[in-house]
Structure 1
Amino acid sequence: MRLRDRHAITKPEIMIIPMIDIMFFLLVFFMMSTLSMVNVKTVDVDMPQAQSAETKLAVTYVVTMRRDGQLFLEDKPIEETALIEQAAAEAAQNSRFSVVVRADQGLDYGMVIALLDRFKSRGILHIGLAAQGK
């Protein structure tokens, strides 16, 4: 049986290139998974498209109106009176309170205006309408 020579042992080397590859892979993985979680709490509706639609991140309430007139607060169904009361209570506590209405493009225009009017009558003035960017 032949044994290795004790003096011929080389020093261990740290291979940094595979470690950099793994770090970039993890960075991309976490970036992609974070981006996919952005719109999780909304109901899918067919929103109208707008050329100059902007993304606003500081929104307190996201209200969705489906084609049949059903209302959702983020992803939970809610009655209109309960929605208006909750929004008014929140607006009384938070001076920067804002509401974004995501309405289906097949919805009657009068229903959207009626909801906006009810928000305004309760003192909620920061209201936005959502649109799909082109």
Structure 2
Amino acid sequence: MKLTSTRIDKTPEIMIVPMIDIIFFLLVFFMLSTLYMTDQKTIAINLPKAVTAQNDVVKSLQVTVAKDGQIYLGADKMTLEELKSYVEKESKSGQLSMVLRADGEVDYSHFIGVLDEMKKCGIKKISLAAKS
């Protein structure tokens, strides 16, 4: 006569499919929650005015020096003097940053001249573009 044992002879199994479902649920939850973390929602109030208050909006300019030495602001062709006057006018309205792009065959002294003139106009943040 065989006596039944109170011990379980069966080994426990790990259910993979529910675990994958939970991982995907957590992934979606964290992806959606990070979208809402960037936007700060606060209550509406009337802020007081201050004479020394400043906006921290930084405008970025795309300046390109083509192979033939022509200078472009975005897609608009300009001379160096026109670019300087535009930058001086825009720098008075707020902070400027610039991405300076140049063709690989541009004369180095011409490129440095454009870079130097932009620094003289008061642009402190100038990035140089390169292909990765």
TM-score (norm 1): 0.52
1:101 matched residue in structure 2:
100
| Whole-Å separation in 2 of the counterparts to 1:101 and 1:89 | 19
1:69 matched residue in structure 2:
69
* Larger Rg over CA atoms: 2
| Whole-Å separation in 1 of the counterparts to 2:63 and 2:121 | 16
Specify the code of the residue in structure 2 equivalent to 1:116.
L
2:90 matched residue in structure 1:
90
Q: Does 1:124 align with 2:123?
A: yes
1:15 matched residue in structure 2:
none
Give the match's secondary structure for 2:72: strand
1:60 matched residue in structure 2:
60
Give the match's secondary structure for 2:84: helix
The percentage of counterpart residues that share the same residue type is 33
Deviation at 1:103, TM superposition (A): 0.1
1:114 matched residue in structure 2:
113
1:27 matched residue in structure 2:
none
Give the match's secondary structure for 2:111: helix
TM-score (norm 2): 0.53
| Whole-Å separation in 1 of the counterparts to 2:124 and 2:111 | 15
Give the match's secondary structure for 2:122: coil
Give the match's secondary structure for 2:105: coil
| Whole-Å separation in 1 of the counterparts to 2:59 and 2:131 | 17
| Whole-Å separation in 1 of the counterparts to 2:67 and 2:59 | 23
| Whole-Å separation in 2 of the counterparts to 1:79 and 1:108 | 16
Deviation at 1:87, TM superposition (A): 1.0
Contact 2:59 2:94 in 1 (8 A): no
